[in-house]
Structure 1
Amino acid sequence: MLKVGLVDDRYIDLDKLNGIVAGIPEVEVVFSTLSAEEAYEHIKKENVDLLIADIEMPNLSGYELADIIHSHALDIAVIFVTANSGYAVHAFELNVHDYIMKPYSRDRLVKSIERLLEKTKTAGIIGRLYIKQKNDIHIIQKKDIIFIERSGRSTTIYTKTGPIKTYQTLNELEGELRERDFLRSHRSFIINIHYVKNFSLYAKNSYIVTFDGIEEQAMITKEKVNFLQNHYF
């Protein structure tokens, strides 16, 4: 199911988006708002796969919203639906999925979303991580990773079904875990934010992280806790 957020400061345009998107199979509208600021709050708190946004809006623009998504490497596709063609070149520098000019037909938007749906289906292999050991390669689902710890010269990947050890470094694994779910919380840890249960103050600038389902714990810096609060929760 593709989770979609909609934002346009004109009610008539937002209503048109709702009418089209809500009728597409395998698509769920998780929020619909007239305010880009409100859309930003939704993005921080909810899982969103696609944002469909107007560009020119008061205060925070759709372009600025897409720039936030791009600069924080959030795993959210963007479709601009706008009456202004002047942002097209800059928009594709942000790697947006599509740039649709108003007025547009229902078919134009539906085909764009269906194209994204196909892309996400064929990219299913991206959801797996290949863990190299001396004589074996483990294939695990990224969604099953709770956290990863580097200790000495080895790395332990804690999953829902148990730990897996590898010689791969955190830097190597971090390059494979660019989804919004994962955060380099500390020089020795990568955490999956969906399993986090609690942060407990450990020292002036660090916290202990506890997780649902396992007793093992990780570390997170104060800076990264602040980042989570500002951009995820």
Structure 2
Amino acid sequence: MRWSSIKGDRLLVESSPPNGSPRLIAVVDDDEDVSSALGSLIESMGIHAMTFGSADIFLADRDRRFDLVISDVQMPGTSGLELAKILRKEAVPLILITAFPSPEVKQQAIAQGVRCFMRKPFDPDELIDCIERILAGDL
């Protein structure tokens, strides 16, 4: 089922997977403020979000199927790039965000199949566009 609504100057479209369950995005970041802000942004799009304080905590929660994962690059334990390797094998789309971008890290991320690579602080509209394109199958 698809429905749309106007929010500000954006057309929001929510689509459910064929089984009718709502979309679910995981946010993985050790910075609680960033996780909370991302979760709120995703929920404002009409999409369910779950936040995780680390990639290790996320990986321990394998009971759910996520439509998309948004993760920080640098975290204690498993890094965002290591998470990208794991998710690539499972065909789960990933957006990586980082406060410390470098051409080398971006190149590694792209090589691991990361769909969007963004610098913190990121433009919320840019992130929303990336999320919408991934969920629509356009990216």
Q: Distance in 1 between matches of 2:85 and 2:100?
A: 17
Residue 88 of structure 1 pairs with residue 106 of structure 2: yes
Residue 88 (structure 1) shift: 0.3
Matched, 1:99 2:104: no
The equivalent position to 1:34 in structure 2, one of 53, 72, 82, is: 53
Which has a greater percent of strand?
Answer: 1
CA distance in 1, matches of 2:126, 2:70: 13
Deviation (angstroms), 1:66: 1.1
> Alignment RMSD, CA only?
1.6
The alignment partner of 1:91 has SS state of helix
**In 2, distance between residues paired with 1:91 and 1:97?**
9
* Match of residue 79 from structure 1: 95
Counterpart AA for 1:106: P
Alignment of 1:76-225 (within 5 A): 76-86=92-102, 87-119=105-137
Distance 2:74 2:37 in 1: 17
Provide, for residues 31-67 of structure 1, a one-character-per-residue CA deviation record: whole Å limited to 9, x for no partner.
211121111112x221111110001001111111111
Q: What SS does structure 2 have at the residue aligned with 1:119?
A: coil
Moved over 3 A (4+): none
Q: TM-score, normalised by structure 1?
A: 0.47
Mapped to 2, the partners of 1:66 and 1:35 lie a distance apart of 13
Aligned residues: 116
Query: What TM-score, normalized to structure 2?
Result: 0.77
**1:48 to 2:48 alignment:** no
- In structure 2, what is the Cα distance between the partners aligned to 1:49 and 1:75? 10
Q: Secondary structure at 1:37's aligned position in 2?
A: helix
Instruction: Structure 1: state its 5+ residue gaps.
Output: 121-233
Cα distance between partner residues in 1 of 2:82 and 2:35:
19
Offset, 1:28: 1.8
C-alpha distance after superposition, 1:68-87 (max 9, x if no partner): 122xx202100001112121
What is the CA–CA distance in structure 2 between the aligned matches of 1:67 and 1:84, rounded to whole Å? 20
Separation of aligned partners in 2, 1:69 and 1:117: 16
1:6 equivalenced with 2:63 (yes/no): no
Identity %: 27
